[in-house]
C-alpha cells in the first residue's frame, strides 16, 4: 500500500539526510583525487589508492544498503514520486534508477575498480612524460578488463555492453544512436576540414607564437575566469597535468589547468573549458547537493557548458574585442597584434595530434576515433596491447597524420587511466547541445554578441542558470536541451555554426 503523503514526506526526509551524508563521503573521495592530481608525493601512491578503495567500499555499502533500498521502494510508489515537475519527484526517480544499477555491482568489483583507476592515473602520470606505454599497459589492461566486467553485469545480457557504460555519463543514450550522429558528423566534417586545410588563405598562427611568462599566465587565466563568472569564493584554480574540474561540496568547485611557456592559449582555454564546467556546478541548487535535483543532467550537458565558454564564447571575435586590450597588459608581446589576426589564429583549422588543443572542426574526429576504439575495447575486439597501432592507424585514416610517440598518441588523455570509458562521446554531444543553446540565448538575449564585446558575461550566465543549471538532473538531457532551446536535439545548428564561423575566416 502506498504511503500517505505525510508518511512519505518523513521517509523522504530520512532519505535526504542519508544521501547528503553519503555525499559528504563522495566529496571526500573527490578531494583524495584532487590532491592526487595536484602534487601527491612520489611514494604516496599506494596508500592513496588504499584510502580511495576503502572509502569507495563504504560509499557503495551506503548506496546499496537494504535500508536505503526499502525507503526508495516506498517512495517510488508514493504520490511524491508521481509529481512530474518537482525536484522531490525527480530525485526519487533518479535515486531509484541509480540504486537499481548500483545494487547489481558487487562491492568487491567497485573496490577493485576504485583501486585500479587510482593507481592507473598515477602510473599514467609517470609514464606519459617518459613515453612509456609498456609501463602503463598492464594497468590499462586491468582497468579495461574491470570495466568490461562491470558492463557485462549492467547490460544484463543485452548485446551492447558499451550501452551500460555510456549510460553512466549520458542517461538513456544508446550506442547505436550516437554512432549515427557521429557518422553524420563525419560525413559533413571531413569535406569541411579538407576545404579549410587546403585553402590558400589559411591563418598562419603567428600572432600567438612567443614566450609567455608562467606567473603572468596564471594571473591572466584567473582574471579571465573571474570575469566570465566563476566564483572564487566558492572555488579554486590550480595546476595539474591534464585539466579537469571536480566538486568537493556545494560551495567548493575546483578547476585545474596546465600552462606552457611557449603558448598562452593552452592554459587559457584549459581554464575557460574547466570554468564552464565549474560554473555549471556552481549553478546547481546547493540545497539539493548530492541528490539528482542537485546534480548535473549528464556529461553531455556538462560538456555543452565547458565547450560553449571555451569555444563559442572564448574563440569568438567579440570575446577578443573585449579581451585583447586586457591581454596586452599581461603580455606586451601581443601589443602589435590585431583582433582580426588573433581571432583567425585561435581558430586555425588543422589536422593535429592533441585533442584538447584541437580546433572546433577537427575536434569531433578526435572524439569519433576514441569512441570507435573504446567500443572495440569493451566488446573485446581490440586488446590494449594493440591500442597504439590502432590509434595511430586511425589518426592517419581520419586526419592524415600519425603520432610520433604514444605520449602524443594513445597516452595523451587521462580518461582511460581514470576508467572513464564511455565518456568521450559526451564531448561531441556537448558541442551539439552548445550550438543549440548559443542560438537560443542569442534569440532570447538579443544583443549577446555586443555584450560579449563589452565583457558583459552575466546575462549569458544567468540565462544558462535559468535554462540549464537550476534544473539539475530533473529532466533527461535531451528533454532539458529541447526545453531550453525550443527545438529537439539536432546536430544541424552545430554544423551551421562551424561553417558560418570558419569558412569566412578562410576566404
Binding residues for a copy of itself, rule: CB under 8 A, are 21, 24-25, 27-28, 31-32, 35, 39-44, 46-48, 50-51, 54-55, 58, 232-236, 248-253
Smallest gap, in angstroms, from Cβ of residue 288 to a copy of itself?
14
CA distances for 471 relative to 48, 131, 405, angstroms:
35, 43, 44
Nearer residue to a copy of itself within complex by CB, 214 or 339: 214
Smallest gap, in angstroms, from Cβ of residue 52 to a copy of itself?
9
Centre a 10 Å sphere on the Cβ of residue 336 and count the other Cβ atoms it contains: 9
Smallest gap, in angstroms, from Cβ of residue 44 to a copy of itself?
4
Smallest gap, in angstroms, from Cβ of residue 28 to a copy of itself?
5
Nearer residue to a copy of itself within complex by CB, 278 or 314: 278
- 382: buried, middle or exposed (CB in 10 Å: 19+, 13-18, 0-12)? middle
**How open is the CA angle 244-248-249, to the nearest 5 degrees?**
135
Please measure the distance between the N-terminal and C-terminal CA atoms of the chain and give it in whole angstroms.
70
Nearer residue to a copy of itself within complex by CB, 53 or 428: 53
Nearer residue to a copy of itself within complex by CB, 27 or 499: 27
Nearer residue to a copy of itself within complex by CB, 21 or 100: 21
In which element (H, E) is residue 482 found?
Answer: helix 477-485
Smallest gap, in angstroms, from Cβ of residue 67 to a copy of itself?
16
Cell numbers at 158, concatenated: 543485452
177 is annotated as an active-site residue: no
Longest dimension (CA), the chain: 75
Distance, in Å, from the CA atom of 304 to the CA atom of 409, rounded to the nearest integer, reads: 25
Cell numbers at 120, concatenated: 592507473
- Beta strand residue intervals within 134-292, DSSP E: 235-239, 244-249, 252-257
Distance, in Å, from the CA atom of 123 to the CA atom of 104, rounded to the nearest integer, reads: 30
Smallest gap, in angstroms, from Cβ of residue 251 to a copy of itself?
4
Catalytic residue among 26, 33, 74, 274: 274
Nearer residue to a copy of itself within complex by CB, 31 or 324: 31
**In this structure, are residues 217 and 264 in contact, taking their beta carbons and an 8 Å threshold?**
yes
Distance, in Å, from the CA atom of 286 to the CA atom of 251, rounded to the nearest integer, reads: 8
Residues marked active site are found at 274
Amino acid at each position: 500500500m502506498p504511503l500517505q503523503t505525510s508518511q512519505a514526506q518523513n521517509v523522504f526526509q530520512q532519505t535526504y539526510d542519508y544521501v547528503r551524508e553519503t555525499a559528504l563521503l563522495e566529496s571526500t573521495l573527490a578531494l583524495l583525487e584532487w590532491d592526487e592530481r595536484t602534487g601527491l608525493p612520489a611514494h604516496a601512491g599506494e596508500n592513496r589508492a588504499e584510502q580511495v578503495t576503502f572509502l569507495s567500499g563504504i560509499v557503495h555499502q551506503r548506496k546499496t544498503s537494504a535500508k536505503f533500498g526499502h525507503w526508495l521502494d516506498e517512495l517510488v510508489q508514493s504520490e511524491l514520486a508521481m509529481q512530474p515537475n518537482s525536484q522531490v519527484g525527480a530525485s526519487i526517480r533518479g535515486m531509484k534508477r541509480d540504486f537499481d544499477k548500483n545494487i547489481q555491482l558487487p562491492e568487491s568489483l567497485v573496490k577493485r575498480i576504485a583501486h585500479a583507476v587510482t593507481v592507473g592515473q598515477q602510473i599514467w602520470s609517470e609514464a606519459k612524460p617518459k613515453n612509456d606505454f609498456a609501463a602503463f599497459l598492464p594497468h590499462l589492461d586491468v582497468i579495461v578488463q574491470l570495466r568490461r566486467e562491470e558492463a557485462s553485469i549492467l547490460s544484463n545480457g543485452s548485446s551492447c555492453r558499451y550501452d551500460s557504460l555510456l549510460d553512466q555519463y549520458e542517461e538513456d543514450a544508446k550506442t547505436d544512436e550516437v554512432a549515427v550522429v557521429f557518422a553524420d558528423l563525419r560525413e559533413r566534417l571531413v569535406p569541411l576540414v579538407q576545404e579549410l586545410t587546403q585553402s590558400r588563405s589559411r591563418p598562419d598562427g603567428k600572432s600567438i607564437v612567443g614566450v609567455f611568462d608562467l606567473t603572468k599566465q596564471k594571473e591572466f587565466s584567473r582574471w579571465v575566469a573571474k570575469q566570465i563568472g566563476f566564483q572564487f569564493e566558492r572555488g579554486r584554480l590550480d595546476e595539474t597535468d591534464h585539466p579537469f574540474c571536480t566538486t568537493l561540496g556545494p560551495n567548493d568547485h575546483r578547476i585545474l589547468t596546465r600552462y606552457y611557456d611557449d603558448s598562452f592559449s593552452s592554459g587559457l582555454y584549459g581554464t575557460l573549458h574547466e570554468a564552464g564546467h565549474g560554473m555549471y556546478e556552481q549553478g546547481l541548487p546547493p540545497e539539493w547537493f548530492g541528490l539528482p535535483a542537485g546534480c548535473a543532467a549528464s556529461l553531455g550537458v556538462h560538456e555543452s557548458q565547458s565547450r560553449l565558454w571555451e569555444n563559442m564564447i572564448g574563440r569568438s571575435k567579440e570575446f577578443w574585442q573585449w579581451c585583447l586590450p586586457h591581454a596586452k597588459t599581461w603580455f606586451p608581446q601581443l601589443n602589435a597584434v590585431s583582433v582580426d589576426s588573433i581571432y583567425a589564429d585561435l581558430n586555425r583549422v588543422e589536422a593535429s595530434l592533441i585533442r584538447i588543443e584541437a580546433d572546433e572542426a577537427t575536434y569531433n574526429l578526435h572524439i569519433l576515433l576514441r569512441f570507435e576504439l573504446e567500443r572495440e575495447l569493451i566488446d573485446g575486439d581490440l586488446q590494449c596491447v594493440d591500442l597504439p597501432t590502432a590509434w595511430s592507424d586511425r589518426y592517419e585514416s581520419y586526419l592524415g597524420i600519425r603520432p610520433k610517440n604514444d605520449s602524443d598518441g594513445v597516452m595523451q588523455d587521462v580518461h582511460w587511466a581514470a576508467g572513464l570509458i564511455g565518456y568521450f562521446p559526451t564531448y561531441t554531444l556537448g558541442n551539439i547541445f552548445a550550438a543549440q543553446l548559443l542560438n537560443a540565448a542569442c534569440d532570447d538575449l538579443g544583443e549577446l554578441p555586443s555584450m560579449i564585446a563589452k565583457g558583459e558575461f552575466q546575462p549569458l550566465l544567468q540565462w544558462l542558470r535559468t535554462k540549464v543549471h537550476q534544473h539539475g538532473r530533473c529532466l533527461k538531457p535531451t528533454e532539458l536541451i529541447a526545453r531550453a532551446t525550443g527545438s529537439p536535439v539536432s546536430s544541424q545548428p552545430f554544423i551551421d555554426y562551424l561553417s558560418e564561423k570558419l569558412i569566412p575566416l578562410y576566404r
